[in-house]
Every structure is written in C-alpha cells, then in structure tokens.
Amino acid sequence: MSDYGYQLIAIIIYMAAMLFIGYYSFRRTSNLTDYMLGGRSLGPSVTALSAGASDMSGWLLMGLPGAIYATGLVEAWIAVGLTIGAYLNWLLVAPRLRVYSQVTNDSITIPSFLENRLKDSSRALRIVSGIIILLFFTFYVSSGMVAGGLFFESSFGLDYHTGLLIVSAVVIAYTLFGGFLAVSYTDFVQGVIMFLALILVPVVGLFIVGGLDGATESIREVDPSRLSMLEGASVLGVLSAVAWGLGYFGQPHIIVRFMAISSVKETKHARRIGIGWMVLSLFGALATALIGIAYFQQNPGKELGDPETVFITLGQFLFHPFIAGIMLAAVLAAIMSTISSQLIVTSSALIEDIYKVVIKKGSTDKQYVTLGRIAVLAISLIAMFIAWEKNATILELVAYAWAGFGGAFGPIILLSLFWRKLTSWGALSGMIVGAITVVIWGNNEELKGLMYEIVPGFILCLIVAVVVSLVTYRRNEEIEKEFDETMVLLKRDQ
C-alpha cells in the first residue's frame, strides 16, 4: 500500500469517529439547553480540553511552529501571553460566569447573560451582541473551511473544493445533529490527538538529531539568534505579543464552556487540566520548530517548502505512513474543532439572541432545537460560499477577529462579573467603541505596526463602559440581590 493509502486510512478512521460522536450526542440532546449548552453537564476534562482545542485551531500546529522555524524563539512571546491570559480566564472568569449565568435566569449564551445580568429591557444589548458574534464568526468559520480545503490540497493533492466539501460535510453533520455536546466531545478527542502528536514529534525528533546537544549545535550553525527570545525584539513588540492574552476574556466560543461545566468545584480541576494541556502543547509546538531547524540542517537532501508545514513534514519523515496519517489527523482536528465551536456559538446567537428576541417568541424547545440545526446549516452554507474562492480578505479579517472579540466583549465580561455598577448603556457603549476601535486600528498599517489592535480596543472599551455606567447608574434591587446571591454561592461551592 502507498504512503498516501495509509494516511488516508488514518484520516477516514478519524472522520468516522467524529461522526459516531455526533450520533451519540444526538441521542442525548432533547431540549434547547442540551443543544446550546450540553445541559450544563460537562466534566472538568471535557471542559478543559474542548476549550483548549477550540481555542488553538491550526495556529498551534502550523502557525506557531512555522513562525518559530522561520524567525526563532522571539515569536514565542505570543505563547507566553496566551498562557497567562488563559490561566487568568480560568481563575477569574470561569467560576463566576458558571454561577452568575445560572442565577441570572439560567442564561445559555453570552448575549443573554449580559441582558439578564444588566436587566436591559430595551433588548439592544442582546441584539447588538448577537449581531457582532454572527458577523465575526460567519467569516471565522469560512476561514476554517478554507484551511480545511488547503489541508487536503497540500496533503493529498485533492482539488481545493473537494477538500472544502469533505471537511465542511463532516463538521456540519456532527455539529448539526449533536449540538454543543457533540462539539465538546469531539473537541476533547481532538485535543487528545493534538496533545499526543505535539509530544511525540519533538521527542522522537530529538533522538534523530542527536539529543539536546546535537539539536542546539545544529540550530546555532543555522542562526544562533533563533534560540533567543530577545534577539530582534522591541518593547512594543513584546507587549503586543503578550497582549494576545487579553483576548481570552471575550472569546464567546471559549467562555461558553465555563457556563456548561457541571459545577463550580469542577472549574478548579478543569483549570489545572486545561493549563497543563496548554503549556505542554505549546512547548511541543516550540520544540517541533526547533527540532525541525536541526533536522533539515542535518539532512540537506530533504527540503521544507513552507515553514508552516514543519510539523506535518517532520511527521512524514519520522514515522510510518499510518502514524504520519495520525499526525495529519491532528492538524485536521485543530481546524475542525474551531469550526464546530464557532458554528454552535453562531447558531446560538442567531436563534437565542436574535430570532427569539426580534422575530418570534413562544415556540417549543423542540422547535428551537430544530431551528438551531437549520441555523447551523444556513451559516455553514454562507461560510462555504464565502470560502469557495479562497478570498484573501477573509484571512485578513481573521487576523483581527481575536482582537475584535477581545476588545468588544473582554472588558464587559470582566466588569459584569466583578463590578456592581456596570449598566446596560455602559456595556453597550463600551462594546461598540471596542469593536470599532479594533476594526479601524487593525486596518491602518501605520497604527497596526505600532501596537496590536486589541490593546487600544480593550482600553477604550473599558474606559467608555466605566464612564457611561457611572453617569447612567441607578440602583436596582434585583441586580443587587443576584450579585449577592452569586457571591454566596461562589463561597459555598468553591
């Protein structure tokens, strides 16, 4: 059997496993809370790894190793910022959001939580939040589909559109039928595959290149600065890279996991598992890039065309074709886990935060679940249409989508959980200012070169939200009661 044959078998087994999980989750989904939030029944391991897998995407296995392979460890500052941000997100946001979202009328989406928490009778906050999520994530999903098409094109020589259709069909199937549970369980499996692959490649590669001394010597022969985190770095550059961590507080597809965990006590266990997974996976990605530099220096007859394929190429050189196929499945897992998470959050925003509020109320839970599935299909088709031509503007949008969510939602989520005096007008004003700042800053090359757009977006959102809230604040007994109840439950359950 050819190498491609073995690799294709590995990919088919992986795809079949994802569809089976979708069917299993379909059998356990009976109402809207099940479909959108898994019935708030996730254990700490599933919560931690599903949050990590949906967060990292193909960046962990392709983008980060590629950047370090090409430039050196100076690119690792982003990983430092993300680790700090993720830890603080688990520590500060996870337990409070789990309790507060249930206290505030059992909210099952971020927009519904903000509306219920701030008692916004105008519905403007919920609708605007839903629209921001819908717009950003539709393009985000399409970019993941582009990545899936390119994956099959570069790995198996398939036509781009064929690869796009294969990835889209499998992700749509398990997300559409299984909902949040399917997304979380598949993300868990995908997180395990990614983790094992990122540990296996550098460990085996280290033996091949002659251990730590052999690897270090070979890297120094290529360029000694590749081993430095300070060579070529500037103060603003490091701050911009570390500022990526601010984005975590506002990513709907990540923080919604905190609302779904089974209890507050489990958030501590989930934090340890999640951060442990993240640190080891990031270390594996860094090590893969460095081992790659040493390997290709020692083997000049073997070439690496694109630095971002260093993980895939090393896997193909170091392992049996079937194991190399598992490595390819890890890359596919990273792509698919993010697409599915974004699809379910976008579907939630469309049905729970726009349809139910603007168009129609009073439908049964079964009807809403059906509408949620129709929404997944509709959003997927729009995303596929956008992705069909590999439009470069989509990829440009994704570059600042993280900053967009971080700047628009991050300060508002933190203030809603820790500050009694946040008002609906303060939250709405800050959210709009944060999103607009990121879009304007991110599309201006001069400003973008000066500082990553999440920094001004986050700061301006925070300032505007606080100032407007202080101006519009009126004591609300129901808000005070729910805030106090949340604090009591937190102390009791932690």
- Render pLDDT for 325-366 as a digit per residue (tens, 0 to 9): 888 888 888 788 788 888 888 888 888 777 877 776 666 767
Q: Residues of the chain whose pLDDT is less than 50?
A: 393-395
DSSP structure string for 424-439: HHHHHHHHHHHHHHHH
Cα 447 to Cα 256, 284, 458, 481: the distances in Å are 32, 33, 15, 44
DSSP structure string for 206-270: HHHTTHHHHHHHHHHHH-GGGG-SSTT--HHHHHHHHGGGGGGGG-HHHHHHHHHBS-SHHHHHH
Query: Cα torsion at 8, 14, 17, 21 (round to 10°)?
Result: -140
Dihedral class, residue 390 (left if φ above 0, else alpha if ψ from -120 to 50, else beta): left
Rounded to 10°, the helix 211-222/265-298 angle is 60
Rounded to 10°, the helix 211-222/160-208 angle is 120
Phi first, then psi: give them for residue 256, nearest 5 degrees.
-65, -25
pLDDT of residue 98: 92
Answer yes or no: are the C-beta atoms of 450 and 289 closer than 8 Å: no
Tokens describing residue 389: 């031509």
Q: How many CB atoms lie within 10 A of CB 382?
A: 15
Q: Smallest Cα–Cα separation from 63: which of 297, 304, 339, 285? A: 285
Q: For residues 253-269, b (16+ Cβ closer than 10 Å) or e, as one string? A: bbbbbbbbbbebebbee
pLDDT of residue 422: 97
- pLDDT, averaged across the chain: 86
**Choices 1.20.1730.10, 2.60.120.10, 3.20.20.70, 3.40.630.30: CATH for 3-391:** 1.20.1730.10
Helix ranges restricted to H, 119-159: 124-156
Q: CA 289, 293, 297: angle at the middle one, nearest 5?
A: 160
Domain boundaries, the chain: 3-391
Q: How many Å separate Cα 210 from the centre of its chain?
A: 36
**Bridge partners for 261 per DSSP:** 42
Answer yes or no: are the C-beta atoms of 372 and 351 closer than 8 Å: yes
Burial class (CB in 10 A: 0-12, 13-18, 19+), 27: exposed
pLDDT of residue 394: 45
**Bridge partners for 42 per DSSP:** 261
Q: How many Å separate Cα 6 from the centre of its chain?
A: 30
Please tell me the distance from the alpha carbon of residue 48 to that of residue 25, in angstroms, as a whole number.
18
The structure tokens 């808000």 sit at 479
Please tell me the distance from the alpha carbon of residue 349 to that of residue 351, in angstroms, as a whole number.
6
Tokens describing residue 230: 């300070």
3-state secondary structure of 419: coil
Predicted TM-score (pTM) of this structure: 0.88
Q: How many CB atoms lie within 10 A of CB 65?
A: 31
